[in-house]
Chains A and B, each alone.
Chain A
Amino acid sequence: MKIKRILALLVSHLFLGLGIIGIVVFAAFFGTQRHYASAQSPSFVRVIHASPDVGTADVFVDGGLLLSSFQFGAVTNYVAVPAGPHKVQIALVGKGIGAAVISETLAVSPGLAYTVAAVGTKATGLSLKVFIDNNLLSPGTAKLRVYQLSPDGGAITVSAQGSTLLSGISYQGASNYLPMSVGAYTFDVTSATHNSTLPMDATLKANTVTSVFTVGLYNGNPQIQVIASQVPGLPGVPNTGSDPNPLLQPDNVQPSAPWIWLLGASALLLIGSGGFIRRLVGKYSN
């Protein structure tokens, strides 16, 4: 009788031990499954110099020099900056940050892309105009967006091959993104205010996003000009998951998850059994 009691106690301890190990494995499986370090994405900013009254300039961000000798009409590539507010200052080249003619704080969100334009004249005031960009590609085709940054240009219309593509784009405004067939175009940019049409040649490549900027003055210097900038379009994130419960797919009938649930259930059963056996041993030994 004593040997049986010892045996039963051993079995109960074994069950408890195995059960606890099972619970630990179960917890470890789910505990490690969805724990990831994470970090905030930066923002992406490109800058265009479209202020006729500011000559070649230096651009400072948060007190540091970001761009040097930034010429009128120039467009930068997208630059990564930490998301959040940033103090942007623009000063004539070599004059230093203390001589900034534009000084503004801009808040940018993580992961978004922006076009920041230095705009305005001394008469109307110099400032920064911020556009949120969408560079998602259009598969096999191109996208076009037009920014009107000429202070005296009024509203503009853009046409190609005799067809109006975009119209009513006012100063400091930008068009929607227009899907375009791939190919070479001559875009005609017309200002109704000045009854003037400027041609601009551009080749729209597949899977790209083309930005067209009007900068400068119809009446004055620097003279009006049309600038194009092309960036690669970007795809959306892929779908790399699969249905865990597919129907009628005999080659893939076995989900991987059930074994861990079975382990968890077995562990609980072992613990319960261990406790039950101990109680029984206690009861029958009295």
Chain B
Amino acid sequence: MHAVRLTLRLLALIVVLILSACGSASISEELELRAPSAIKAATPTVPPVRAYMKNPVRLVIPAIGINAFVESVGTQSNADLATPTQNPWEDVGWYNLGPHPGERGSAVIDGHLDRPGGYPAVFWRLRDIHVGDDVLVTNIAGKTLHFRVTRIALYTPQEAPIQDIFGNWGGIYLNLITCAGDWIPSEHQTTLRLVVYTSLVA
């Protein structure tokens, strides 16, 4: 009898713990629902019509369920690539001082890993991508370009090979960047950057 009573108490404790976990998930879902998700207009910074039409507006990575609006971003005052500003957690940012996706060189798109509190942002699942996965980019003109993942690498910010990421003119590339590793409170950044290198599929 004593054993059964003890068992029931333990069972109750475990149920409470599991319910607590479910409660956390519910709060997360609410936050996700509250997050803005409206589609916004593009913010081109290149006035010529033909160049403007090449601006990317949507990034789709079927293998990891990413389907994001692409903002146009430049650099921050410290020379680092800027991040999306209109909808920082759900949009991605195309580096508008580099080539357009589909042009010779290294086009670059970045996106947040997470939002404050550690809640997932647009590139949360970029870590799950594999070599060979498809990456699709659609531009303003409606043309969809098909890239394929060729390399995946992790770097510290100081050791990131910027010439490889932003300045490889030997082909038609699209490289994706987000944060990885652990958060360093004193530096207000994570320890690593995840770079996914892709190449245009003919």
Interface positions of A (Cβ within 8 A of B): 4, 7-8, 11, 15, 32-34, 36-39, 41-42, 44, 77-80, 110-113, 135-139, 207, 231-232, 234-246, 249, 251-259, 262-263, 265-266, 269-270, 273, 276-277, 280-281, 283-284
Contacts and interface: CB of A to CB of B under 8 A. Distances in A.
24 contacts: A4-B4, A37-B152, A42-B168, A78-B163, A80-B164, A135-B163, A138-B79, A231-B167, A236-B81, A239-B157, A239-B179, A239-B189, A240-B112, A240-B121, A240-B193, A242-B112, A243-B185, A254-B31, A254-B117, A259-B25, A262-B17, A265-B17, A266-B18, A280-B2
B164 A263 contact: no
A-B pairs, 7 with minimum CB distance: A111-B161, A241-B179, A244-B118, A241-B190, A252-B117, A252-B116, A255-B118
Interface stretch (B42-50, B70-78, B135-143): B70-78
Contacts of A284: 2-3
B111 to A, nearest CB: 6
Contact of B14 (A138, A240, A270): A270
Contact of B163 (A44, A240, A255, A276): A44
Contact of A111 (B163, B188, B190): B163
A80 B165 CA distance: 12
B102 to A, nearest CB: 17
Interface in B139-182: 151-155, 157, 159-170, 177-181
Contacts, number: 230
A236 B77 CA distance: 11
Contacts of A7: 4
B69 interface: no
Contact of B81 (A231, A238, A246): A238
Contacts of A44: 163-164, 167-168
A39 B116 contact: no
Contacts of B168: 42, 44, 78, 80
B10 interface: yes
A273 to B, nearest CB: 5
Contacts of B80: 235-239
Nearest to A283: B3
A8 B4 contact: yes
Contacts of B177: 237-238, 240
Contacts of B17: 262, 265-266, 269
Contacts of B162: 111, 135-136, 234-237
